[in-house]
Structure 1
Amino acid sequence: MKQFEKLEILLNEQGGMIQTSEAVKRGISKPVFYNYVKEKKLEQAAHGIYVSSDAWIDAMYLIHMRCSHGVFSHETALFFYDLTDREPSPYSITVKRGYSTTRLKADGLSVYTIKQELHEIGKSTAQTPFGHTVPVYDMERTICDLLRCRSSIEMQTFQSALKMYARRKDKDLRRLMQYAGLFRVEKILRQYLEVLL
Structure 2
Amino acid sequence: MTKKEMVLRMAADNNGIILTKQLTEVGIYRSVLKDLEDEGKLTKVQHGVYVTKDGYADDFFLLQHRFPSGIYSHETALYLLGYSDRTPIRITMTFPQGTSSKRVKDEDIRPILISKNLDVGKTALYRNGNEIIVYEIERTLVDLIKPRYEADMEQLIPALKRYARNKNDINKLFEYAKLFGVEQKMHDYMGVLL
Q: CA deviation at 1:68?
A: 2.9
After superposition, residues 84-95 of structure 1 pair within 5 angstroms as: 84-95=84-95
Q: Check whether the contact 1:72–1:93 (CA below 8 A) recurs between aligned residues.
A: yes
Distance 1:149 1:19 in 2: 39
- The equivalent residue for 2:164 is 166
- The equivalent residue for 2:126 is 127
Q: Secondary structure at the match of 2:117?
A: helix
Q: Which runs of 5+ in 1 are unaligned?
A: none
Q: CA deviation at 1:42?
A: 4.1
Q: Check whether the contact 1:125–1:133 (CA below 8 A) recurs between aligned residues.
A: yes
Distance 1:109 1:149 in 2: 21
Distance 1:88 1:45 in 2: 22
Opposite residue 48 of structure 1, the aligned amino acid is G
Q: Secondary structure at the match of 1:40?
A: coil
* Aligned CA-pair RMSD: 2.3
Cα deviations across residues 97-121 of structure 1 (Å, max 9, x unaligned)? 2223433332222322222x31110
Count how many residue pairs are aligned between Structure 1 and Structure 2.
194
Q: Percent identity?
A: 34
Distance 2:146 2:192 in 1: 19
Whether 2:186 is the aligned partner of 1:189: answer: yes
Q: Secondary structure at the match of 1:85?
A: coil
Distance 1:45 1:157 in 2: 32
Cα deviations across residues 45-104 of structure 1 (Å, max 9, x unaligned)? 222222345643322222233333322211122123322122233332222122234333
Opposite residue 123 of structure 1, the aligned amino acid is K
Q: Check whether the contact 2:17–2:56 (CA below 8 A) recurs between aligned residues.
A: no
Q: Check whether the contact 1:23–1:33 (CA below 8 A) recurs between aligned residues.
A: no
Q: Secondary structure at the match of 1:135?
A: strand
After superposition, residues 93-108 of structure 1 pair within 5 angstroms as: 93-108=93-108
Cα deviations across residues 114-145 of structure 1 (Å, max 9, x unaligned)? 22x311101122221x1323222111101011
Identify if the C-alpha distance between structure 1 residues 149 and 51 changes in structure 2 by more than 3 Å, giving closer, same or farther: farther
Distance 2:38 2:147 in 1: 44
Distance 1:90 1:42 in 2: 30
Q: Check whether the contact 2:17–2:51 (CA below 8 A) recurs between aligned residues.
A: yes
Opposite residue 2 of structure 2, the aligned amino acid is K
TM-score, length basis structure 1: 0.84
Q: Which runs of 5+ in 2 are unaligned?
A: none
Q: Match for 1:136 among 134, 137, 162?
A: 134
After superposition, residues 1-197 of structure 1 pair within 5 angstroms as: 1-40=1-40, 42-52=42-52, 55-115=55-115, 117-128=116-127, 130-148=128-146, 151-169=149-167, 171-197=168-194
Q: CA deviation at 1:151?
A: 4.4
Cα deviations across residues 142-195 of structure 1 (Å, max 9, x unaligned)? 1011112674331211111111111112x2222112111221222222221222
Q: Secondary structure at the match of 2:61?
A: helix
